[in-house]
Amino acid sequence: MNANQSIRFASALDGITHTERMIESVCTEFGVGEEHYGEILISLTEAVNNAVVHGNKLDSNKMVSVDFTVDGDDMVFRVTDEGPGFDFENIPDPTSPENLEKPNGRGVFLMRSLADVCDFEELGRVAVLRFKDVVSVSVQG
């Protein structure tokens, strides 16, 4: 079992496909249940979409990386872009009436809602998503 995995790809929306394959692989390998699989899939695809579109502005010369580790019974994913970062402390609430009709602005909200822990590092260039107690296969190390 590989409790540490990484993928790296140029900023393009097909990076989401690479991420989905990684999620499928690690969730199968570590026995993640279906309810957690959906939460992980949605959170990570939102994080990668944000990295590609908002972080790197679809610049194919910039890279996105997705790093995965197992920490006890937790899964931790780090999504890193090469953009300027963003003010993650002051994101408009997408559930506020004035924001309900807006076509975007829900990604971080979903990430924070679905992951047990959603932190940002390096001025927002790194999203860290932790899913607690989802690993059901013991990791030998």
Q: What is the pLDDT of residues 81-103, one digit of tens each?
A: 999 999 888 877 767 777 667 65
Report how many domains make up the chain: 1
Residue pair 78/117 in contact by the 8 Å Cβ criterion: no
Considering the domain boundaries, does residue 140 fall inside one?
A: no
Domain span holding position 69:
4-131
Considering the domain boundaries, does residue 82 fall inside one?
A: yes
SS3 83: coil
SS3 94: coil
Considering the domain boundaries, does residue 138 fall inside one?
A: no
Considering the domain boundaries, does residue 34 fall inside one?
A: yes
Cα dist from 4 to 69, 82, 120, whole Å? 5, 22, 20
Considering the domain boundaries, does residue 141 fall inside one?
A: no
Q: Model-level pTM greater than 0.85?
A: yes
Q: Percent of the chain having pLDDT more than 90?
A: 76
- CA 19, 25, 30, 35 dihedral sign is positive
CA distance 28 to 16: 18
Considering the domain boundaries, does residue 30 fall inside one?
A: yes
**What's the mean pLDDT when you consider all of the chain?**
91
CA distance 78 to 82: 13
Which CATH number fits the domain that encloses residue 67?
3.30.565.10
SS3 7: strand
Considering the domain boundaries, does residue 104 fall inside one?
A: yes
Out of 13-22, 35-44, 69-78, 100-109, which region has the weakest mean confidence (pLDDT)? Answer: 100-109
Considering the domain boundaries, does residue 136 fall inside one?
A: no
